[in-house]
Structure 1
Amino acid sequence: MRTRTLVMPSKPTAFLSAMLLVAGVLFPSIPTADGLNAGIAPPGNSNTVGGSKTVPGTAVGIDVRVMTFNIRHGTDEDNDLDLESVADDIESAKAQIVGLQEVDRHRSARSDFVDQAKWLAHRLHMDFAFGLNRKTPPKKGHKKPGLHGVVVLSKFPILSARNHMLTNIKYKHRPTKQRSMLEVVVDVNGTKISVYNTHLDHQRKEQRLAEMKEILAITAQSSRPSILVGDLNSQPFSRVVALAKTQFHDVMAELGEGEEPTFPYDEPDRRIDYILTRGHISARWAAVIDTDSSDHMPVVADLTIATPVEKPAGSPTRLQGGPRIVPHPPAAPRTGPTPIWF
């Protein structure tokens, strides 16, 4: 197994540092994909994930761990169906909000007709929302149609979800497949954020650029702190990523490891999987997880979402991150996932 990559923060951007005065904090180490602790941990001092960083008497930044993962309908490096390995990767990483791509629901024998979105949500005790890309008629002997698309899993409540079908250019030769972007609103300890998950076309740059333009037109309508995750099928130097960065910040690039590859799992040579942020969100740490449970390797990042500092009436509101961790109670346990499907 390759050594897992640890991405250490470099200088914060001028914009984010103005918004968030984030001091170094320590977060629990993330085990390797097989569950063994590799001794790799985010920088600083801490005892919690998903808590709030505070200055005494104030309420400021909320910490959250985010993941993006193209799971190739749950098939591993040998093309064997192994959805449990996908669940183990998510669980070991302690991810709280997860964007998954290439998820099947009752699709076909390739995924054993399993509703993978619902299965993973139950297995991980998370809420979920599903965004449809493509639908096929029921297979012989089965009543439900086959669905394929993207999923957002969340340890925090999902308040709403909407799936946006992206324009599919009609090509005579090598036609492209229908893509979408799933938009959800998540309540992270009282702060509402927008989370977007997408999977862009893999064949043509023209199609990917068209999809990204539509995505940015949609995401621009939200004034909330926003996170865009997904398989963009585009490398960091591409026009597609440059376009995305007109509105979003690339977490890996800002932390100084923008060229770290995520695909393919056996001999990774390109980065096409991204966690992007917009608004008052600061990236503290990120890593590519070495796993063979898919043809992609997941990306995980620790983010801080700024919250207003309470001030006396008449005083201007400001945003700030504090210098230390105060343990925050974990989200209430769930008896089962709350599905939202569009």
Structure 2
Amino acid sequence: MLQFSSAAGVMLATSGVSRLFAADSAKQPLRVIAYNVYECTGWPKDRELGKKATALGQMPDRFAHELALYQPDIINFSESPKEEVVQEIAKRLGMNYVRFPSGGNWPGTLLSKYEIVDAKNVPLVKGERPSDLFTRHWGQATVKLPGGESLVVHSAHLHPSPEPDTRLREIPLMIESMQNDLNAGRSMLLMGDLNHTPDVEEYKLWIDAGWVDTFTKVGEGDGLTIKADTPDRRIDYVMAAGPIAERVQESRPLFEGAFRVNNADSQAFALSDHLPQLAVFE
């Protein structure tokens, strides 16, 4: 069943497919993944096997099978593929999804095992989206967790310019939108490709606002997320605020399996140029 909300500019879909991993979800950890999926076309783009997999329509299966190994409850896509590809991935994972249109050509998608009860695209406190901001994507959704708890999830992909000017205009507008929920102490996640490293002013804005970087809190090593052959930067995040921030157990990039390139194989390709960032909460 599909439902369209023209006001929010987002699409909600519910799949009737059974979960691949049945369990009493109320007793299980919450597992989330933030992943810039590079339109689900494989990386590097010039690898013949990757081009063949895309041409044969194998990418929805490949993404779904690889992600399913980590038993995710919530997944965030940056640089999301065409909607029909998202629908196939969601169907295979037995997930609902909401799609966040882009100000350019880089939509986002939030997928959830649990019900998505509302969603807003670019939820500014006032006014319309400035034409030069949020040209990738930013959206907000509320996920209803087992037991009735609500989780506010912000899905984001910030501007990639080497200069921080655009991001330093985007982030304060986002924090303004988040402020009531932050003040109320609601459980919140911020997931996505934020296109900045942890040593810059943009990162400090998040921390000063009350967000907790899950990797900084419980991760090990450098946590590099790009690129999938030889990672050298950390720009993909799962941040948390409110009670859920105190329950993080694990946070790490998935430099493994089909998410990475085997540099010893000249034909090897990864599912994307980014690595997924996994976070697990009690």
Q: Shorter chain as normaliser: what TM range?
A: 0.7 to 0.9
2:30 alignment partner AA: V
Q: TM-score, normalised by structure 2?
A: 0.73
Contact 2:123 2:177 (8 Å CA) reproduced? no
1:298 alignment partner AA: P
Contact 2:171 2:202 (8 Å CA) reproduced? yes
> Hey, which of these two has a bigger chunk of helix by percent?
2
Contact 1:49 1:64 (8 Å CA) reproduced? no
Aligned to 2:205: 243
Aligned to 1:269: 232
Contact 1:230 1:274 (8 Å CA) reproduced? yes
- The structure-2 alpha-carbon separation of the partners of 1:120 and 1:104, relative to structure 1 and needing over 3 Å to count, comes to same
- Asked if residue 96 in structure 1 is aligned to residue 73 in structure 2, the reply is yes
How much does 1:86 deviate? 1.9
Contact 2:110 2:155 (8 Å CA) reproduced? yes
Q: Which ranges of 4 or more aligned residues in structure 1 deviate by more than 4 Å?
A: 165-170
- Asked if residue 211 in structure 1 is aligned to residue 180 in structure 2, the reply is no
SS of the residue corresponding to residue 133 of structure 1 reads coil
1:1-21 deviation line (CA, Å, top 9, x unaligned): xxxxxxxxxxxxxxxxxxxxx
1:52-81 deviation line (CA, Å, top 9, x unaligned): 3xxxxxxxxx73101100000002124233
Contact 2:123 2:140 (8 Å CA) reproduced? no
How much does 1:209 deviate? 1.4
Task: Kindly name which structure, 1 or 2, has the bigger radius of gyration based on alpha carbons.
Answer: 1
1:1-342 correspondence to structure 2 within 5 Å: 50-52=25-27, 63-79=29-45, 80=51, 81=54, 82-105=59-82, 115-134=84-103, 148-164=106-122, 167-168=129-130, 170=132, 178-189=135-146, 190-203=148-161, 204-222=163-181, 223=184, 224-246=186-208, 247-257=210-220, 259-281=222-244, 282-290=247-255, 291=259, 292-304=270-282
Task: Calculate percent identity across the aligned residue pairs.
Answer: 25
CA distance in 2, matches of 1:180, 1:295: 18
SS of the residue corresponding to residue 158 of structure 1 reads strand
CA distance in 2, matches of 1:271, 1:180: 19
How much does 1:241 deviate? 1.1
Alignment gaps of 5+ in structure 1:
1-47, 53-61, 106-113, 136-146, 171-175, 305-342
Higher relative contact order at CA 8 Å, sep ≥6: structure 1 or structure 2? 1
Contact 1:168 1:178 (8 Å CA) reproduced? no
1:8-61 deviation line (CA, Å, top 9, x unaligned): xxxxxxxxxxxxxxxxxxxxxxxxxxxxxxxxxxxxxxxx78443xxxxxxxxx
CA distance in 1, matches of 2:169, 2:92: 36
1:227 alignment partner AA: L
2:140 alignment partner AA: E
